[in-house]
């Protein structure tokens, strides 16, 4: 690997993280990490926590009072969602059109669910009607809003209309902060996300939201102590204005970083930020097609923040990615499973969601495959 002189002397290696995540954080989020550390029950920290929870409500599009950053990555958000709502034998319908839908099936089954899996081809969105008809009375219907493994967006609003008495559980790891997300209007009862994609923060927190109704229908004594939402209430938002109780040591630096990124996003304006993601993705996708490459995700369901593109015939996918890393300090991702060597995944998320970034990656990729 070739390091620049600055990198050799400072020991700092700066990558342009244009893969499926983590993405480069907003500078405000990085600066917040370097501030003097606060204790987790310090009133100054609690103010930051309250503000971060309020910012999360805005990006989720919810008024849920139980909206909080869980102290772990997106997969812990997934575990929290299922372990708190699924008891032994409960029926859970899972829409599967990629790796993260598959992971949901595994997690739900470990919680004792009777999993009814509804499969769709990788690269296609889920069909809400087929999902809703898969079982007459499930406790939970689960779907991934933005499948990072394939670059596909599914219609959560339509699922919300068809969910009946089921609780709608949604993975918004890659959509939050980058796509339209209206949890309350769409009937989302439980949602989890991650910080490392369009929110522009390092990995380490799982923004989580649960409606009052879903909270009332939760498993009273879930098998996870750490992720028990009944116990987490005292740690965060639920008791706003009241004394916090210790549950675990909140990752104060990470929450300050999240707060700073949310402030950055809300200052720019949620709509403006989403529009920036849309323009960047469209520029990239148009440019790739102009280069003669074929997009993988179905037209009409393509995520702007995560583009999947087929590796051209005769091109060594891994060699190109290694070349981009070495010569441009640019990371892009491989495809997943049987698409590992035939698809690339290119993320333009958070601060990287710009038309300049799209032009940069188009230029670099064009040179690498030449
Ligand atoms: N769900 C989706 C859609 C994801 O993209 C990811 C991670 O990329 C996860 C869940 C898991 O999140 P984490 O890797 O932060 O645990």
Q: What is the interface pTM, i.e. ipTM, of the complex?
A: 0.99
Distance 173 CA to ligand 1 centre (A): 6
User: 4 pLDDT exceeds 80?
Assistant: no
Distance 6 CA to ligand 1 centre (A): 33
| pLDDT, tens only, 80-109 | 999 999 999 999 999 999 999 999 999 999
Q: What is the mean pLDDT of residues 188-209?
A: 98
Is there an atom of ligand 1 within 6 Å of 75 CB?
A: yes
What pLDDT is recorded for position 8? 61
What pLDDT is recorded for position 6? 56
Cα 233 to Cα 209, 214, 228, 245, distances in angstroms: 12, 14, 9, 9
Return all residues near 143 (Cβ < 8 A) that are at least 6 apart: 94, 95, 101, 126, 131, 154, 156, 159, 168, 169, 170, 171
Helix or strand holding residue 152 (H, E): strand 152-153
Q: What is the mean pLDDT of residues 341-351?
A: 98
User: 3 pLDDT exceeds 80?
Assistant: no
Write the burial class of residue 235 (CB in 10 Å: 0-12 exposed, 13-18 middle, 19+ buried): buried
| pLDDT, tens only, 159-191 | 999 999 999 999 999 999 999 999 999 999 999
User: 201 pLDDT exceeds 60?
Assistant: yes
pTM: predicted TM-score of the whole model, two decimal places: 0.96
In this predicted structure, which of 64-73, 111-120, 234-243, 248-257 has the lowest mean pLDDT?
Answer: 234-243
169 forms beta bridges with: 142, 190
What pLDDT is recorded for position 5? 61
CA torsion angle 292 293 299 301 (round to 10)? -150
Which of 100, 170, 178 to mutate to test ligand 1, by most ligand atoms within 8 A of the CB atom?
Answer: 100
Omega of the bond prior to 167 within 30 degrees of 0, cis?
no
Distance 168 CA to ligand 1 centre (A): 18
**Average pLDDT over the chain, rounded to an integer:** 95
What pLDDT is recorded for position 242? 60
- Ligand 1, atom 5: closest residue by C-alpha: 148
Q: What is the mean pLDDT of residues 194-214?
A: 98
What pLDDT is recorded for position 235? 76
pLDDT band at 237 (very low <50, low <70, confident <90, very high): low
Atom of ligand 1 nearest to the CA of 20: 8
Residues 130, 140 contacting (CB under 8 angstroms): no
Hey, CA dihedral for 76, 117, 189, 278, is it positive or negative? positive
| pLDDT, tens only, 20-44 | 999 999 999 999 999 999 999 999 9
Distance 207 CA to ligand 1 centre (A): 12
Is there an atom of ligand 1 within 6 Å of 192 CB?
A: no
Distance 154 CA to ligand 1 centre (A): 16
Is there an atom of ligand 1 within 6 Å of 203 CB?
A: yes
What share of the chain has pLDDT > 70, as a percent?
95
């Amino acid at each position: 690997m070739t390091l620049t002189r600055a990198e050799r002397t400072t020991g700092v290696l700066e990558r342009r993280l244009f893969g499926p995540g983590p993405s480069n954080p907003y500078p405000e989020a990085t600066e917040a990490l370097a501030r003097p550390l606060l204790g987790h029950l310090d009133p100054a920290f609690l103010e930051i926590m309250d503000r971060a929870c309020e910012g999360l409500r805005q990006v989720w599009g919810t008024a849920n009072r139980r909206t909080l950053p869980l102290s772990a990555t997106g997969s812990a958000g997934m575990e929290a969602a299922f372990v708190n709502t699924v008891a032994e034998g409960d029926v859970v319908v899972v829409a599967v059109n990629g790796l993260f839908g598959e992971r949901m099936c595994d997690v739900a089954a470990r919680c004792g669910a009777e999993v009814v899996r509804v499969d769709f081809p990788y690269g296609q969105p889920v069909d809400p009607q087929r999902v809703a008809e898969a079982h007459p009375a499930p406790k939970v219907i689960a779907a991934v809003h933005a499948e990072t493994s394939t670059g596909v967006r599914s219609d959560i609003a339509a699922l919300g209309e068809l969910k009946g008495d089921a609780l709608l559980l949604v993975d918004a790891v890659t959509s939050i902060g980058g796509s339209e997300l209206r949890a309350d209007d769409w009937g989302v009862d439980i949602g989890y996300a991650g910080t490392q994609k369009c929110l522009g923060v390092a990995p380490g927190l799982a923004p989580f939201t649960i409606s009052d109704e879903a909270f009332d229908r939760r498993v009273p004594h879930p098998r996870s102590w750490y992720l028990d939402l009944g116990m987490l209430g005292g740690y965060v938002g639920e008791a706003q204005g009241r004394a916090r109780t210790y549950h675990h040591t909140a990752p104060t630096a990470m929450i300050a970083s999240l707060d700073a990124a949310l402030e950055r996003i809300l200052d720019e304006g949620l709509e403006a930020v989403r529009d920036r993601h849309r323009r960047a993705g469209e520029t990239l996708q148009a440019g790739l097609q102009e280069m003669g490459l074929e997009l993988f995700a179905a037209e009409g369901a393509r995520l702007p923040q995560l583009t999947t593109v087929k590796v051209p015939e005769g091109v060594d996918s891994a060699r190109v990615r290694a070349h981009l890393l070495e010569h441009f300090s640019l990371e892009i991702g491989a495809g997943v499973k049987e698409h590992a060597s035939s698809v690339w995944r290119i993320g333009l998320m958070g601060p990287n969601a710009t038309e300049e970034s799209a032009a940069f990656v188009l230029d670099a990729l064009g040179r690498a495959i030449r």
